[in-house]
Amino acid sequence: MAASRVAVSGLGVVLRRRPRRDAGAGRPRIVFLLAHAYGIGGTTRTCLNLAGALAADHDVVILSVLRARSRSLLSQPAGVTVIPLDDRTRLAAEGRARRLLRRLPSVLVLPSDQNMSRRVSLLTDLALVRALWNAGDGAFVGTRPASNNLLLAVRRPGTVVVAQEHMNFAAHKPVNRRELTRIYRQVDAAVMLTEGDREAFRAAAGPGANLAVIPNGVPAAAGGRASLESPTIVAVGRLTHQKGFERLVEAFAEVAPVHPRWRLRICGAGPRRARLEQQIADLGLEGVVTLPGQLQQVERELHDASIFALSSRFEGLPMALIEAMSVGLPVVAFDCPTGPREVIEHGRSGLLVPEGDVSALALALLELIEDEPRRRALADGALARSRDFAIDAIAPRWSELIAALHADRSTHEPR
């Protein structure tokens, strides 16, 4: 960790010497540093959504630290330049020197951000240095602990640095909490997804940190509303401990004998697939609970369902939940930290049940299955609530924040 701090500080000395290069034509520049713009995760989706919306009035660039597939799993937003740094699709053509650098560990990427640090190398570091040198001035936005830390190096007159926080404070390991509070005291602003998370980080970082709250935004749903005709419950997410899908399967085991026509579909890929398959078999739910895998067109699954279920143990702000609400699905969710409570108005746009209470989750699902008018009323409420998270409403808040930060920096920087 100490070596990484020294390396990032040294990078800052280097980058402060780079020539000034502003975006042309009077359009302000925004540069996002994203781990993998070619994947399908929630952070990737929200970043692409935001970048596409901001491109109407900004020169927007996404620096994708990694590229592990030739084609993106998500549509690249119009008007946004996506630059892959460490391109793993060209490994076969790499020379001996690049192969050697790829075997050496990174010194720039925050070691405690293991989801990123274990995937990068010294070759990645060199690509990052080159990209940050050539990025010009403007606003730089990080999207995870490692990228937020790296962007401390680009701060100089003419730039602002904004750190995005996509996870709740308690979900981070203690070492990451310490690093994040250090980072958030130094950036121009840190953007949280929920008020609850801002308070948690405020308590740790102190009053000197500039902490804002801007939720994730979702684009308008294609294909209209869900018809709510199919006897199907849908859930979406990576098959990991965080998402708690084994709890949803356990709850559905109480539903299936009472309503044998109903089905549960859990869409996503991940390390817990085999465990979930075994649980489904042990409960005699084969053919009733299905795992269709990772889907590029999740919207089709949402439109073909009648209820959305969220069984996570923790979240930042669950994008899949908001996307389900945006097609008019009634939602049932554990009241986990954080996010569901700040999205769902209980009894109006969905149902919240106590965190970890599997029987309460089953009862909530039964309530919506057995009461169609209630189900449709909550669907109407979900659709109305989702409009508060429309990307057209969220992007202007980012524009206003970045403009205010630039104005503040220009006021306080020496001439």
Burial-class residue 249 by CB neighbours within 10 Å (0-12, 13-18, 19+): buried
As annotated, the residues of the chain forming the CATH 3.40.50.2000 domain(s) are 2-217+391-412, 232-389
Give the pLDDT confidence score for residue 415 in this predicted structure. 45
pTM reported for the whole predicted model: 0.89
Cα separation of 52 and 41, whole Å?
Answer: 17
pLDDT level of residue 34 (50, 70, 90 thresholds):
very high
pLDDT digits (tens, 9 = 90+) for 130-147: 999 998 889 999 999 999
4 touches 152 (CB < 8 A): no
Q: Cβ-count burial of 377 within 10 angstroms (0-12 exposed, 13-18 middle, 19+ buried)?
A: middle
161 close to 188: Cβ distance less than 8 angstroms: yes
**CB 366, CB 255: distance < 8 Å:** yes
Whether residue 53 has pLDDT greater than 70: yes
Give the tens place of pLDDT for each residue, 286-302: 999 999 998 877 888 99
Into which CATH architecture does domain 232-389 fall?
Answer: 3-Layer(aba) Sandwich (3.40)
Per-residue pLDDT tens digits for 188-203? 999 999 998 899 999 9
Rounded to 5 degrees, what are φ and ψ at 188? -70, -35
Residue range 229-255, pLDDT digits in tens: 999 999 999 999 999 999 999 999 999
- Burial of 242 (C-beta count, 10 Å sphere; 0-12/13-18/19+): middle
* Cβ proximity of 44 and 238 under 8 Å: no
What radius of gyration, in Å, describes the C-alpha atoms of the chain?
22
Cβ atoms of 292 and 299 closer than 8 Å:
no
Amino acid at 350: G
Instruction: For the chain, report the end-to-end CA distance as a whole number of angstroms.
Output: 35
Phi (first) and psi of residue 339, to 5 degrees: 115, -60
* pLDDT reading at 2 higher than 70: yes
- In degrees and rounded to multiples of 5, residue 31 shows phi and psi of -120, 120
Q: Is 223 left (phi over 0), alpha (psi -120 to 50) or beta?
A: left
- In CATH, the number for domain 2-217+391-412 is 3.40.50.2000
Can you tell me the mean pLDDT for 20-26? 59
Each residue's pLDDT tens digit, 85-96: 999 998 878 889
pLDDT exceeds 50 at position 257: yes
Give 333-391 pLDDT, tens digit per residue: 999 988 899 999 999 999 999 999 999 999 999 999 999 999 999 999 999 999 999 99
* Distance, C-alpha 178 to centroid of its chain: 21
Q: What is the pLDDT of residue 65?
A: 95
